[in-house]
Amino acid sequence: MVFAPNIHARASKTKVRNHFFRTDVPRPRKLRLEQHQLRSGIGDILKSAENPLESLRDLHEKHLLRIVELYKIEQDPVAVAFELAALRQVLTVQAFRLAAGKEGDTADFALLMGGSAIRGDHTFLTDVDAVVVPHTEADREAALRVQELMLRNLAEMAIYADEVMPNNFDALPFARLPGKFPAFSAAELKLPFNLSWWLSNGAFYRFLMDLKVAAAWGKVKPAAYAEQLGKLQHQLVYDRPEELQTLCRESYQKSRDITRERDDLRTKGKFNIKNDALRQFYYAMYAVRARYRIKDPAPGTVLNALFDKGMISAEEKKDTASALDFFLDLRHLIGFSYPLAEDSSKLDKKTIQMAAYAKGVAEEQLIRKIEISAATLRKISERILDI
């Protein structure tokens, strides 16, 4: 279950967006912070905080404003994405620890994170993918309570948490997950979108590949959970890569069919960056990772592997990276500067007008760039998937 942020949290998002257009803002002492610097700095403040959750909410806003300035000054979408990913990781861990502290020392469980916050391509209005996994069946009820409270804590900080993985994992220990997801079903391969996304095995397998152990609570060390996670990843994905490759190919084709029916930037005036470009490209990336057992989820790592294996040329690698950076930059721009945006993926006439104005280009020029970038990602994806 996902909880809506409170009024204070919504106001915080508005303040961040208003901040984007200000020119009288003093430059922060440091624009870039390593994750260990964020972790130690936030940890030090929380030690003396009377209301830790309120302090975390204020720290989230403070660092978002710092990242807005980084984006305005350096105009480096990749650096901004890494800063946002690091911030969301640290805050999610703190939200987990605050929730776990309510359970005392009577249970053992771990926080796992995946998705864009781990890949490093995170954006401001993007949710976080996090799930609490118990050590044993006896820890399951405590893990469920911690997960629910953690989601409430995140919502208080205006951080949305995706409900897909908590629903798929169902607070089961690692030992029970192979029984819940024993193999790819025929229906999943033929019609990968025939079920609710919440119930999709394909979403679980792909999410599983990105997962990292972010924190642990209780007597069991994070390394022990990481070992169990690694075994599960091999058992369900890396030791049977052909099944995931087939699933990714079918998912790509179905997604393209839906895209053709639904969105067209010129005739209908709308386009979804995530669903109509990035998600389809990532299907190809997951297929490559399964085939070659590439554990690092960063897109740049996968593109380097494809180049090293002679599957793409240096020019294709450069063009693909450029297309990814362009869409990442556009999502940052939407998230940081368009007050009416529900998320950073949806493009319509108003969003295009705003983005073109902010970038100082003609709307037609921006639309053409969107079309070229989407076509670049489709071309490389279809080659990789052999479609």
Q: Could you identify the residue written with the tokens 């022990």?
A: 224
Angle at 277 between CA 287 and CA 240, to 5 degrees: 10
**51 DSSP 8-state letter:** S
Q: What is the mean pLDDT of residues 54-83?
A: 92
- Boundary of a domain, candidates 238, 257, 278: 238
Domain count of the fold of the chain: 2
Domain boundaries, position 104: 7-238
**147 with 231, same domain?**
yes
pLDDT beyond 90 at 181: no
Residue 273 host element (H or E): helix 273-273
Query: Residue 228: inside a domain, yes or no?
Result: yes
Residue 186's pLDDT band (cuts 50, 70, 90)? low
**270 with 206, same domain?**
no
Question: Beta partners for 110?
Answer: 133, 216
Which of 124, 127, 143, 67 shows the shortest CA–CA distance to 92?
Answer: 127
Cα distances (Å, whole numbers) of residue 6 to 10, 159, 198: 6, 11, 25
What pLDDT is recorded for position 106? Answer: 81
The CATH number given to whatever domain includes residue 179 is 3.30.460.10
Higher pLDDT, 282 or 8: 282
Which of 81, 68, 87 shows the shortest CA–CA distance to 120?
Answer: 81
Query: Residue 73: inside a domain, yes or no?
Result: yes
**269 with 222, same domain?**
no
> Coil, strand, or helix at residue 348?
strand
**133 with 205, same domain?**
yes
What pLDDT is recorded for position 8? Answer: 45
**163 DSSP 8-state letter:** S
Rounded CA gap, 273 and 255, in Å?
Answer: 13
Residue 187's pLDDT band (cuts 50, 70, 90)? low
The CATH number given to whatever domain includes residue 373 is 1.20.120.330
Which of 331, 330, 287 shows the shortest CA–CA distance to 305?
Answer: 287
Rounded CA gap, 144 and 300, in Å?
Answer: 35
**111 with 258, same domain?**
no
**197 with 255, same domain?**
no
What pLDDT is recorded for position 188? Answer: 57
